Amino acid sequence: MRNNRRPAKSILPGRYVQNHIPRATHRQGVRRLVYNKATRNQDAAVMKQTKTCKVCHIPLRVGKDHLWGPDGTITLRGIHDRRMVFFDSDGLDVLFSNIESLLGISVEKILIESKARSAREYARRMLRGPKGQLARLVGLNRVVGRVLLQGRILGYGRAGVSGFSWREGYISVEIEDPYSLPLFCADFRGAAESVTRDPGTVTSEELGPGRYRVDVARGSSSPEFAGRLLPQPRARKPGDVTYNYCPRCGVPLEVSRFIWDLDRGTITHADSGLRMALFGPQGLEVFFNELEGELGDTIPETVIEAQRMYAESRMSLRSIGARAGDVRSWLAIRGLGNLVSLDITEELLEARIENPSLPLVIVGTSLSFYEFTFNRKGRMEWSLADDGDLRMRISPA
């Protein structure tokens, strides 16, 4: 499925391909690590030690680090306000390129800046105190190597450090099947910046089908983004979503319908073949906000339309006749929020979701669901209340 997948068409077009890593990488005295068969075998050995749950066959790390809560959210255990989503990553690059084609401009810079900023803040938080000192002591390449292995459990693809010299000012990784190339580039840049405390620039180059080299080099920060604040996590409402938790690892058993391939670093939905990943939605929310700040208040509608276009291409007959319980569970398993009411009467759909994550994505998907179910265009009215609730009303257009 994903093996032969080409990168997103427009988000990182040819002009992005640069080879600016200095020839100095081959000079004497500069460490050059090759991400070759031997390193890959080493990684495979490490991943083998990653234990999977004997009951639900999901890596134990997933349940150890993540909590699916009754309020429709996924959070990091121990960092209650850090939300995650378990989301269809196949759709992300399509969403980005749909946004680009609707706007007629490239949004790659804003996307990478936004996600890198969020990734950097997150990594900084994780590396506070002695942990951070240790990370700086053992070296950027080893820290990044560890993070990349962890990323495989989250479905980010198989990656390893392939070249490193911070004295020369760069670190390179090779990745196969990234969950989203621009988001991976941004995550990598943010993580590297949090360790080096230097601003970086990131570039990528395609090495073969689905294989890329991504380089972070010491650079200067973009002044227009410097000093911008990240959104504060919102207070959440309690909820009563119930799951069948795995008795051994604590992950909802519904999640075991997804197949973890630790060697490739992929998570696939068994029925639909969709590729999934577990990641923090904050970077995307910052991206949508930055777009709106930059390009005006029609951006939310553009994002909704871009997601509606993507969701339309994924709708299947199984979606018809979905009951409120199915939709509620669908949202909660993905950490997108708690569906507290859903009324579908005649050709009217009304819904309220507490603790929504990526509301524009939910709205676009819902509109597509409506149009597929009723086989007609829908008119969407939606609002985000002060208490964070997302309300939607879809009627015939």
248 binds Zn ion (CB under 5 A): yes
Residue 249 or 344: the one with the smaller Cβ distance to Zn ion is: 249
**Residue 29: strand pairing partners:** none
Residue 56 or 171: the one with the smaller Cβ distance to Zn ion is: 56
- Return the DSSP state at 321: T
Binding mask 3-42 for Zn ion (x = CB under 5 A): ----------------------------------------
Report the nearest approach of Zn ion to the CB of residue 52 (Å): 8
Report the nearest approach of Zn ion to the CB of residue 21 (Å): 42
246 binds Zn ion (CB under 5 A): yes
Span of 107-115, 121-129, 243-251, 359-367 interacting with Zn ion by CB under 5 A: 243-251
Integer CA distances (angstroms), 283 to 5, 17, 19, 186, 295, in order: 24, 23, 27, 9, 18
Backbone angles phi, psi at 12, to 5 degrees: -125, 75
Lookup result for tokens 């990370």: 135
Span of 13-21, 34-42, 53-61, 107-115 interacting with Zn ion by CB under 5 A: 53-61
249 binds Zn ion (CB under 5 A): yes
Residue 56 or 127: the one with the smaller Cβ distance to Zn ion is: 56
Q: At what angle do helices 90-103 and 181-196 cross, to 10 degrees?
A: 100
Report the nearest approach of Zn ion to the CB of residue 7 (Å): 34
Residue 56 or 153: the one with the smaller Cβ distance to Zn ion is: 56
Buried b / exposed e across 107-146, counting CB within 10 Å, b at 16+? bbebbbbbbbbbbbbbbbebbeeeebeebeeeebbebbbe
56 binds Zn ion (CB under 5 A): yes
376 binds Zn ion (CB under 5 A): no
Report the nearest approach of Zn ion to the CB of residue 54 (Å): 8
What's the first-to-final CA gap in the chain, in angstroms? 36
Span of 99-107, 197-205, 248-256, 273-281 interacting with Zn ion by CB under 5 A: 248-256
Give how many residues touch Zn ion by CB under 5 A. 6
Report the nearest approach of Zn ion to the CB of residue 63 (Å): 6
Span of 4-12, 56-64, 322-330, 372-380 interacting with Zn ion by CB under 5 A: 56-64
Among 1, 17, 44, 55, binds Zn ion (CB under 5 A): 55
- Number of other CB atoms surrounding residue 220 within 10 Å: 10
The number of residues making up the chain comes to 397
Residue 9 or 64: the one with the smaller Cβ distance to Zn ion is: 64
The torsion of the CA quartet 171, 208, 313, 114, rounded to 10 degrees, works out to 10
53 binds Zn ion (CB under 5 A): yes
Q: Which of 156, 281, 249, 164 is nearest to 215 (CA)?
A: 164
SS3 for 179-227, per residue? Answer: CCHHHHHHHHHHHHHHHHCCCEEEEEEEEECCEEEEEEEECCCCCCCCC
Site residues (vs Zn ion, CB under 5 A): 53, 55-56, 246, 248-249
